[in-house]
Chains A and B, each alone.
Chain A
Amino acid sequence: MFASLILVLLMGAIAWVGASIGLASLFGVVLPYVAVVVFIAGLVWRMVYWAKSPVPFAIPTTGGQEASLDFIKQAKIDCPSTTWGVVKRMFLEVFFFRSLFRNTLAEVRENDPVNNGPRSIYYSSKWLWCFSLLFHYCFLLVFIRHFRFFMEPVPSCITFVETIDGIMQIGAPRFFMTGGILLVAVLFLLGRRIFNQRLRYLSLANDYFPLWLILGVVVSGICLRYFDKTEISQVKIFLMGLTHFSPVSPEHLNAIFIVHLTLVCVLLMYFPFSKLVHAPGVFFSPTRNLANNTRRVRHVNPWNPPKQFFTYPEYEDAYRDAMAEAGLPLEKQPEKAAE
């Protein structure tokens, strides 16, 4: 936990120092191009690698009654038996995180009045679902909002998103709700790993690192908008230079902007090689993309060698004389087979 925090802080500090000693072009121009190439090539490599991996068994997750006899009601979404059902379940999973919604929590409650003592209870726990949904959608909206820096003129749909996002009209520049909610959601996801003993035991550096990294991106972004500002028209000129492959120097931009950009680049480069690839990964999971029709359709293991069949006529051809000598019944007698 602390190692990954220090790593993120170190990267931020390197970017800060780099920007201060005149290496802003390295962090602002070279790094983003490298990061975008690594991100796209890395994810394509990852998807091709997954697509090449054979699935030996049909292992769809079952979350309810599977398709059975007509009078037994099937849980069509939680245990789909057709491709269309799989599509429906995948849609709900990707857009509404249905499997997290179904999350339950087991707990031993001391001094429970029912038992007059300890009792294990199971109840629905929606916190993770709620905050991960907020996190992902706010991150998406924040990402979409950033297109005002990539497009000239800014399309009205982005202006509309900003209007809704800042509809509370708090302060100047207006407070964007998605930014605040994103910060709260990241802090929840991080706090969950730190303060829940069981989760803390399970958490590794590669669980903490992306959270600290995203927290760094969010905090530096919020800081740039509301506190230690930089001139956004210069930011737009700089970013448009990047996307038009005629980069301008970012020397005059605030060091926090360079930190923000560097952390985003690190996130992009880290993405294809970490748990963050659950984004394309959900579509490649055999537990999620297969229909639960194993009793109706035979799933053939793709790496099975071709079968060497030895049919009964071939068997009789091979041992006919010996079988006739032993007096065993034959489909063709030796003299007939010879014809």
Chain B
Amino acid sequence: MYNAKAVIAGIVIFVVLASSPFWLGYRGKNYTSTGVVLPKDEKSCIEDTEFMRAQHMRLLNEWRDEALRNENRVYVSAKDGRKWTISLQNTCVKCHNNYQEFCEKCHVANSVYPYCWTCHIIPTEGK
């Protein structure tokens, strides 16, 4: 092998970088569950769980546009046709009233920092 020193150094750097998803993961904690605490007194959300988990951000964005730009405060659920008031503060946060135990559990772990709370008040469960 020619230039063995430089080549071996290069190969070591490459292997360290290429395997970084593996060893970097080991330096921190494992992540096996979200640890979300669901509201106690309400059993079902406005749409089914699957949809809410994946698409809630889109729903919230649509709600913002409906309420603030179209002055439409009524949302009809696609699940059961029930009517809901479009309001983060009065509808969502009424049940999901603990920011630390609900929103933050997934958001912080997945590095999601939405800008909801630049206008709205962070719910802290009556504190």
Which A residues lie at the B interface, using CB under 8 A? 36, 39-40, 43-44, 47-48, 51-55, 147-154, 158-159, 162-163, 169, 171-174, 229-234, 236-237, 239-241, 243-244, 248, 254, 280, 283, 302
Bitwise interface map of B from 69 to 85 toward A, beta carbon under 8 Å scored 1, else 0: 00000000000000000
CB pair B3 A233 closer than 8 Å: no
8 A–B contacts from the bound complex (CB under 8 Å): A152-B29, A169-B115, A172-B58, A232-B106, A236-B110, A241-B32, A243-B21, A243-B26
B32 touches A240 (CB 8 A): yes
In the assembly, what is the distance between CA of A149 and CA of B111, in Å? Answer: 9
Which single residue of chain B is at the shortest CB-CB distance from A49?
B1
Interface readout for B1-28 with A: 1 if CB under 8 Å, 0 if not? 1111001001100110011111011111
Cβ 8 A contact of A150, one of B3, B21, B114: B21
Q: Is B14 within 8 A of A172, CB to CB?
A: no
Q: A54-B2, A159-B111, A280-B10 are in contact. Are A152 and B30 (CB under 8 A)?
A: yes
CB–CB A43/B14 < 8 A: yes
Residues of chain B having any CB pair with chain A under 8 Å: 1-4, 7, 10-11, 14-15, 18-22, 24-34, 53-55, 57-58, 60-61, 106, 108-115
B67 → chain A closest CB, angstroms? 14
Pairwise interchain contact B10-A158, C-beta atoms closer than 8 A: no
Known: A40-B15, A169-B115, A229-B55. A48 touches B7 (CB 8 A): yes
Extra contacts, 17 of them, besides A153-B108, A237-B31 (Cβ < 8 A), are: A40-B14, A44-B14, A47-B7, A52-B1, A147-B21, A149-B110, A150-B20, A151-B28, A152-B31, A153-B29, A171-B61, A172-B58, A172-B61, A229-B54, A233-B106, A240-B30, A254-B54
Q: A151-B24, A153-B29 are in contact. Are A173 and B18 (CB under 8 A)?
A: no
State the Cβ distance, A156 to closest chain B Cβ, in Å.
9
Q: Which of A43, A171, A239, A243 has the most CB of B within 10 A?
A: A243
State the main secondary structure of chain B at its contact with A.
Answer: helix
Please pick, from A240, A283, A302, the residue contacting B10 in the complex, using a CB distance under 8 A. A283
- Contact among A150, A159, A162, A302 with B2 in the assembled complex (CB-CB below 8 Å): A302
User: Out of B25, B58, B109, which one reaches A229, CB within 8 Å?
Assistant: B58
B34, B60, B110, B114: the one within 8 Å of A154 (CB): B110
Minimum CB–CB distance for B87 against chain A, Å:
17
User: What A residues does B54 contact at CB under 8 A?
Assistant: 229-231, 254
CA distance A169 to B61 in the complex (A): 12
Contact A172:B114 (CB < 8 A) given known A40-B15, A44-B15, A152-B109 = yes
Which B residue's beta carbon lies closest to that of A163? B113
- Given contacts A236-B110, A280-B10, whether A173 and B57 have CB atoms under 8 Å apart is yes
> What A residues does B15 contact at CB under 8 A?
40, 44
B73 CB, min distance to chain A CBs, angstroms: 19
Alpha-carbon separation in the docked complex, A121 to B60 (Å): 56
Q: Give the distance in Å from the alpha carbon of A148 to the alpha carbon of B58 in the complex.
A: 21
Partner of B111 from A43, A154, A302 at Cβ < 8 Å: A154
> Counting chain A CB atoms within 10 Å of each CB, which of B1, B10, B21, B114 scores highest?
B21
> In the complex, how many angstroms separate the beta carbon of B16 from the nearest chain A beta carbon?
11
CB-CB < 8 A to A280: which residues of B?
10, 14
